[in-house]
Amino acid sequence: MGPRKTNIPADDLLKAAVLKVLNDFLRARVPGHVDLTELPEELPEGFPWKDAGIELRVEGPRAGHSCRQRYINHLAPGINKGPWLHEEDKLLYSGWAEGKSWAAISKTLGRSPGSIMNR
């Protein structure tokens, strides 16, 4: 029997679930927290991705990981999904030559680590 696939729901549902879990997470840790209506550029350290999978009723041991990957690579605010520019390619190759990680290069270019790796 092969590994079970996780079915991540539509992007809007994932964004809503992440926002709900984020507000619950912050409410428990920040006194006087006012609920956010929009997702921030970066989620706080220790964000419970497993809870986002539970909120979406996604089953499987990798549900939280799948939600995290979908969000980070496709849905996070500030991700550049446009065509690659020549200048971006130069920065990508120079960062790679210096031994930087995909995540470090992605912060410089404003693209997801997955798109950097695939480029």
pLDDT digits (tens, 9 = 90+) for 59-118: 788 888 888 888 888 888 888 888 999 998 888 888 877 878 888 888 888 888 888 888
Please give the model's pTM, rounded to 2 decimal places: 0.73
Cβ proximity of 40 and 23 under 8 Å: no
- Per mean pLDDT, which range of 25-29, 30-34, 83-87, 97-101 is the poorest? 97-101
End-to-end CA distance of the chain: 33
Are 79 and 112 a contacting pair, CB within 8 Å? yes
The answer to whether the CB of 64 falls within 8 A of the CB of 49 is yes
Q: Shortest CA distance to 50 belongs to which of 58, 40, 41?
A: 58
